[in-house]
A and B are shown apart, each in its own frame.
Chain A
Amino acid sequence: MHRLARDYPVETRLFFVLLAMCVGLSLATDTFLTLGNITSLLNNNAVNLIWAVGLLVVLIAGGIDISFAVAASVVQYLAAQVFMTIGGGNWAIGLVVAAALGFGLGLINALLIYRLRVVSIVITIATFNVFFGLLMFFTRGRNIYTLPDWWTDRIFIFEYQSANGTWSELNLSVGIMIFCAVATAILIGWTTLGRQLYAMGDNPEGARRAGVNIGFMHVLAYGWLGMMAGIAGLCQVNIAKEVVPNALYGRELEVLAAVVLGGARLGGGRGTIIGCILGVLFVAITQNGLNLLGISPFAFQMIIGAAILVAISTSNIDLGLRRKAPAP
């Protein structure tokens, strides 16, 4: 426990804050700790979490990407065209197509960043504009409603009817989310590729000299995020039942905030799946809790913003003190 607190200070602290919030909300409301609330919390945050684990990989590798949310919209649109062309499809084909399209968009980012040796924020701001501009141009901002049935039908991986008759269900998206999180955890925590990603984020020059293929690592990191973005896009359509070209626009910064709140370091080399999940949950539970406490929905964002501001400032004060401890 002590070791955990030392090696993962941000994650540990966030865990206790979350725990306190959950206990508090369970006592303050009789709706928070119900199966129905918890399942809907998971359903509503599956998309964000899939993005978050993808973004985590890029952050660990020392980059940043803000094009992923609009990339997901592009994937939705292109996937809809693909499904129309092949006349249907199913979830397996859907996942492969979305992952491949997403990977392709990530590949564009990776190659531009690596080949032109430009910092990732510049390139992804550029591709953000390109993706979004072209998407809106070609779709003329119109929604697509004619989607294959398999895509819009609800599939539940868990159903439960409680004594008073209310149903609690988990969507397929939650299953996909768990799969994505586990896959990412294996990639970054258990494989040699993950070690090389951390190394590149931690000390790019050191990694290069050790023989790490930097170009390949860029493709892996941005491609992985692209894949996750595509899969998340697929899931989002399943929830929304339509393709709206600007539906995901603007969500990238909130996901970024959540991941960084979970201990991933801008600049690379640090970050864990657990922290990433905790970060997303923190934002989700704050929102959910305010809702249950009957606070005006317009105040959500304000309070979340303030909470993040406080969290960031205080966690850095801690780190500052720790840094001073060993004499320079």
Chain B
Amino acid sequence: MTWLKRTNAALGAETLPLMGFAILVFLAFSLATPLFVTGRNLSSMAFQMPALGLLTLAMLVPILSGGLNLAIIFQANLSGLTLAWVLIQFGGPEAGMGAFLLGSLLAICVGALSGAVMGVVVAYTGAHPILVSLAMMIFLRGLGEFLTRGGDISGFPEFLNTIGYGTVLGIPVPLIIFGIAALIWHIMLTKTKHGFSVYMIGSNIRAADYSGLNTKRTLTLIYTFSGVICAIAGILMLTRFNSVRVGHGEALLLVTVLACFLGGIDPFGGFGRVLPVVIALVTLQMLSSGLNLLGANQHLSTAVWGLFLIAVMALRWLGGRLRNGKGED
């Protein structure tokens, strides 16, 4: 019992049940199809998950602070577009590593800037983040379509494949990038002043302000960092698809929110951790890949993701009822 309590305290109460769920899903698919536990499937999962994972990290912190960032997909797209533009300026397929680094830097700047604008508006005008990010989303989508005329941009150098498809010591590069990002996010949230402020702001921004926390700076940083991670996701998506199109990954927007809620992030803000969200992401990926192996298409797994979220909410509600079931008040 004390072991259980200590684990819960260290990892968050959501982690163990979710882990159980993940294992259950894993076992179910392993039994259902011999194709599931194969190097090929596992590695394809490991290559697919990171883009969604990075975007989920971009969604996570705004939700923790009591907001939401609906612009993440188009922030990623526009950052990718920036990188693509730089690569094309330097000769497209002939562009070198320097061009890639410069392009990535500019891409991150674009992500950060679009995030910072949202952060400043949220922090200084008190506008609701859902609305601010919704407006930013519509703006960025429009800007992207304006610049690309709705088309694809492709023709990038070969070496980008090492990022999108390469491995280091057998671990896919995208997964390494995601792992590092998740670790940084975990440390940021649990060990830094900024992370501390995020949780406090998520629960009660006025009281946080009265206690001397710099709420405006924190809010601005939250959306700036969210933009930075979107940019990294955008760069990763460019290297995976070898092309950029505005609207690429649009369907992932609500999946990131779903992953956060599945990972036990409080929809009102103030509570939640990175680790359970990562487990939730792995579970969602297994559901999607497993169903795919069983012959279902992508759309069925979208439906299953939704049902899965409802099921988790229902179980949580049942658990709550059983715990507090006796007596009123």
Contacts and interface: CB of A to CB of B under 8 A. Distances in A.
Given A298-B146, A305-B139, A313-B121, A122 B313 contact: yes
Interface string B289-314: 00000001101111111110110011
B302 A119 contact: no
Interface in A32-73: 66
B69 to A, nearest CB: 13
Nearest to B121: A313
6 contacts: A134-B303, A137-B303, A253-B138, A266-B130, A266-B131, A309-B121
Interface in A302-317: 302-306, 308-309, 312-317
Contacts of B137: 253, 305
B135 A308 contact: yes
Contacts of B140: 305
B138 A132 contact: no
Nearest to A301: B142
Contacts, number: 160
Contacts of A117: 317
A250 B145 CA distance: 16
Interface stretch (B16-24, B191-199, B254-262): B254-262
Given A127-B310, A132-B299, 18 more contacts: A66-B254, A112-B310, A125-B254, A129-B302, A133-B299, A133-B300, A136-B297, A137-B300, A141-B299, A301-B141, A302-B143, A304-B138, A305-B139, A306-B135, A308-B134, A312-B121, A315-B127, A320-B126
Interface in A132-154: 132-137, 141
A301 B310 CA distance: 33
Contact of A298 (B134, B142, B257, B306): B142
B306 A126 contact: yes
A137 B296 CA distance: 9
B132 interface: yes
A260 B297 contact: no
B254 A128 contact: yes
B138 to A, nearest CB: 3
B125 interface: yes
A116 interface: yes
B6 interface: no
Interface string B132-171: 1011111111110110011000000000000000000000
Interface string A189-203: 000000000000000
Interface of B: 68, 70, 121, 125-128, 130-132, 134-143, 145-146, 149-150, 250, 254-255, 257-258, 261, 267-268, 296-297, 299-307, 309-310, 313-314, 317
A127 to B, nearest CB: 6
Interface in A255-273: 256-257, 260, 266
Contacts of A306: 135, 139
A299 B150 CA distance: 11
Given A298-B146, A301-B139, A313 B127 contact: yes
A15 interface: no
Contact of B132 (A122, A304, A309): A309
A265 to B, nearest CB: 9
A316 B127 contact: yes
Nearest to B147: A298
Contacts of B146: 296, 298-299, 301-302
Contacts of A133: 299-306
A300 B138 CA distance: 10
Contacts of B68: 121
A213 B211 CA distance: 39
A285 to B, nearest CB: 16
A319 B303 CA distance: 41
B222 to A, nearest CB: 17
Contacts of B300: 133-134, 137
A309 B139 CA distance: 8
Interface size class of A (residues with CB under 8 A): 35 or more
Interface string A278-303: 00000000000000000010111111
A128 to B, nearest CB: 6
A312 B268 contact: no
B267 A122 contact: yes
Nearest to A139: B299
Contacts of A118: 267, 313, 317
A328 B124 CA distance: 20
Contact of A303 (B121, B142, B302): B142
B142 A305 contact: yes
Given A126-B306, A305-B136, A137 B299 contact: yes
- Please name the 10 residue pairs, one residue from A and one from B, whose CB atoms are nearest each other, closest first: A305-B139, A301-B142, A133-B303, A302-B142, A129-B306, A133-B302, A305-B138, A136-B299, A130-B306, A309-B135
A79 interface: no
Contacts of A266: 128, 130-131
A253 B301 contact: no
Given A137-B299, A302-B142, A309-B135, A130 B310 contact: yes
B246 to A, nearest CB: 10
Nearest to B315: A116
A308 B136 CA distance: 9
Nearest to A64: B130
Contacts of B127: 312-313, 315-316
A296 B127 CA distance: 30
Contacts of A299: 142, 146
A205 interface: no
A254 interface: yes
A170 interface: no
A271 B314 CA distance: 31
A141 B302 CA distance: 14
Nearest to A266: B128
